[in-house]
Chain A
Amino acid sequence: MMLSVGRFHFRAWTKLPGMGAVLRAMYERYPVPPPDTIVDFNVTLHAAGRRHGWYGDALANFLIDGVEIREPFLRSLSWPYLEWAANYGFGTRSHHLLLVHAAVVERHDGGAIALPGRPGAGKSTLTAALVARGWRFLSDEFLVIDPATSNLIPFPRPLSLKQRSIDIVRALAPEAPFSPMFEGTHKGNVAYMRVPDASVDRALEPARLRWVVFPLYQEGAGLILESKSKARAFLEMADNSFNYQIRGALGFEDLRRVFETVSCYDLAYDDMDAAIAALESLP
C-alpha cells in the first residue's frame, strides 16, 4: 500500500501476517495517494526463513527500493523494523533537504521547537508529553529544512518510545492510542504512540523554527534552562545532521539561514511539568 506523510510518499509491501492491524491502528488517518504517485522510496518486508533450522524463530527482513541493507530480524519485530526502514529510506533519499536528528513540535502560538538529543536524553518522552498537551507534532526523528524557504517540513510518523518512557507517556496521555509493545529489539522494548489526528491533518503545513533546545533528563537536576551559544548549538546541529556533510556548503547555508532567527537553550530537568512550563514560556 502507499501512504502519504505530509508531502512525502512511500510504498510499503508485505505479505507477513499481523501487519495490517498495526498499520491501520497507526496510519488510519493518513491519506492514500493516487496510484500513479511517484513515491520517495519503497519498503518491502518479507519472510527470511528461520533461525537455527525449521523449528527456530521465524525471521524477516526488509528491502529499501529492492536492496537488502541489514541482517534478518525476528519476524515478531516486523513492525518496529518497518518503521526503521521508513526512517532509513527517508534519511537516505532526501538529500535535496537538510535533515537533522531532532524531534520537532510547534507551540500553540505557532513557533516550532527543535529538540536534538543524544539517545537517553529524554527527547522522545518530552516530545510525547508536549504533544499530549496539544502541541503540534512534526516529527520525533527528523528536523526537515526546506532550503528554498527555510521552513520546516513536517514528517509526522508514530512516536517511537523506549523502555521506561512508555509507561511515563501512557500515564501522561492515557487517551492516546499505542501500538503493542515490541520486546527485545536492538533498542530494547519499544512501543509507538499514534500521531494525534490534528497533527496528521496539518502535515502539509510548514512551520518556522524559533527555538533549539537541547534537553537532558537527569534525576536531581531540578530545572535548569540556560541560554546556549548559537555557534555551539549550530555545531551540535551539524553534528546531529544526517546529510549536512553530504550537502557540503549548501548544508552550511541551509542551517545558517534557519539559525538567523532562532534562540538556543540547554534544558536539564527532572520534572516533566516543570520542563513543559519552561518551554511554554520561552520568549
Chain B
Amino acid sequence: MQQWRLRPDLEIRTVVWGDEGVLYNCNSRHTHVVNRPVLAVIEHLRAGWASIDDILSIYNRALADGAGAVDNEILISLLNELGQLGMVETNAA
C-alpha cells in the first residue's frame, strides 16, 4: 500500500493566521503560503507513514466549514507537489 511521510531530514517552521499560514523550509530556505488543511497534513505526516485515506481524513477535517473538500486525485497531486519541494516522500517505487 502506498504511503507518505515527511522526509525525516526535513526541518520546517510554521505559523498560522486564520485559514492560512506560512511554512518555512529550512532545508531549501523557501517560504510558502499554505492553507490550514495542508499544514494539518504536514503535521500529520511528521509523525510517520500515512495512507491516502488517513491523509484525506486529516485534510477534510481541517477545512473550516467543510467547503473545498478534496478527493484522492487532488490530494495525490498535492502530495506529489510537496514531494517536488523536497518535503514529502512516498514508499512507492
A235 touches B22 (CB 8 A): yes
**Other-chain residue from B11, B17, B24, B31 in contact with A230 (beta carbon distance below 8 A):** B17
Count contacts between A and B, CB distance < 8 Å: 41
Task: Give chain A's interface secondary structure class.
Answer: helix
A182 in the interface (beta carbon within 8 A): no
Known: A252-B13, A253-B13. A235 touches B31 (CB 8 A): yes
Task: Give chain B's interface secondary structure class.
Answer: strand
- Residues facing A in B1-54 (CB within 8 A) are 11, 13, 15, 17-18, 20-22, 24, 26, 29, 31-33
A231 touches B33 (CB 8 A): yes
A231 touches B26 (CB 8 A): no
A92 in the interface (beta carbon within 8 A): no
Interface size class of B (residues with CB under 8 A): 10 to 19
**Other-chain residue from A252, A253, A259 in contact with B31 (beta carbon distance below 8 A):** A252
Q: Jot down 12 A-B pairs with beta carbons below 8 A, ordered by A.
A: A229-B18, A230-B18, A231-B20, A234-B15, A235-B31, A235-B32, A249-B13, A249-B24, A252-B22, A252-B24, A253-B13, A256-B15
Interface residues in chain B, defined as those with a beta carbon under 8 Å from any beta carbon in chain A: 11, 13, 15, 17-18, 20-22, 24, 26, 29, 31-33
Top 7 nearest A-B pairs by Cβ distance? A231-B20, A252-B24, A230-B17, A231-B33, A249-B26, A256-B15, A238-B31
